[in-house]
Amino acid sequence: ILGYVGEGSSEELVIPSTIEIEDGDGNPNNNSKTVVAIGDNAFANNFNGRDYIKNVTIPSTVVSIGHYAFGYNEKLESVTFENGSKLATICEGAFAYTPNLTTFTLPASVNDIGEQAFEGSGITSFTGNSYYVWNSDVLVNKNVADQNNAIAVYVNPQATNIKFPDNVTILAGNLFYGNKNIVSVNFNKVTNIGSHAFSLSTLSDVSNTSNIIDAGIESFAGTKWLDRQSSNYITIGKVLLYYNGDDSQIVVPEGIVRIGENAMSGEQIRSAVLPSTLTSIGQNTFRDCPNLDWVLLKSTNPPVLDGDCFDSDVTIYVKQTSLNYYLNNIYFKNLDNKISSKNVSVTFK
């Protein structure tokens, strides 16, 4: 189904399991097709202007629901799946921005839910299945080879305090985006935070952050927690989110394993010394430092570069013993930057 142009005033919409195909004159030709997919945006935007629809029933024949297929339906209150549902995939944004949709029962066959599938909905509880479980106000994807590395794909938007379950190590992007109720988060075993995960939310306090080794772009932008940080080096776990000082030379502390996207900015920055523990550098990390002359990488193994991290006129210095590693590394060998070891003068008295 690609779209909906139905009329009527009923609050109930029952999507058919078969569609009668018409001939060129608009007459039925006794050739019906089984409905197996609901296309992108098919019933979006208040069911294409029919904002009286509150309840929808989806046939058991549907295997996939497309991007934003039911997105932006302000009056939608319930979604019912027929018995024996074969639904496997719920794509990104499929039920996004449905504030009156408060509960949701996943068919047993669902094994793939896209990021932000329920973003902006009012869902406060899920009935899960063998692939997804509702645990402590968090919808957790268990469909991974390692059950100790599960993904949090949705959280109760009404919750003020969240402690992530022990098996959750990854937070999906936009997880709390714009959330106006969240106050505190206990990250527990979380290692990776998706892009914009807490952006523009009311997050104020965090705890148990020591396991965090990656945080996506603007994952804490616009939060009360970020506003309260006064250190020159704003970090979450082992990730440097932003440099907030005014030094001409930046010396990133040892223990940092990742420098986030757009972390550095300022005309005063002329050089940077990066720690031996560093394993990755986010895109555009130093691109907003117009006077940056050189960067010293102390790590023996070249860190992963997410994209363009340095302007081409920035010299990259590395240890002499690591020079060949960098010159032949997949991330560094195609850079326009000069890569060399740095001469150091020592005076003995």
User: Which of 177, 200, 75 has its CA nearest to residue 118?
Assistant: 177
Give the Cα separation of 237 and 255 in Å (integer). 9
Taking each continuous run of H as one helix and of E as one strand, the counts in the chain are 3, 30
Q: Distance of alpha carbon 255 from its chain centroid, rounded? A: 25
- 27, 51 Cβ separation under 8 angstroms: no
Q: Which pTM value belongs to this model? A: 0.89
- Complete DSSP assignment for 168-210: EEEE-TTTTTT-SS--EEE-TT--EE-TTSSTTS---EEE--T
- 97, 71 Cβ separation under 8 angstroms: yes
Q: What does the pLDDT profile of the chain (349 residues) look like in tens digits?
A: 999 988 877 899 999 999 987 766 666 666 789 999 999 999 999 998 888 999 999 999 999 999 999 999 999 999 999 999 999 999 999 999 999 999 999 999 999 999 899 999 999 999 978 899 999 999 999 865 556 789 999 999 999 999 999 999 999 999 999 999 999 999 999 999 999 999 999 999 999 999 999 999 999 999 999 999 999 999 999 999 999 999 999 999 999 999 999 999 999 999 999 999 999 999 999 989 999 999 999 999 999 999 889 999 999 999 999 999 999 999 999 999 999 998 766 677 7
Long-range contacts of the stretch 262-270 (C-beta < 8 A, 24+) = 262/217, 262/218, 262/287, 262/288, 264/288, 264/289, 265/289, 267/291, 269/243
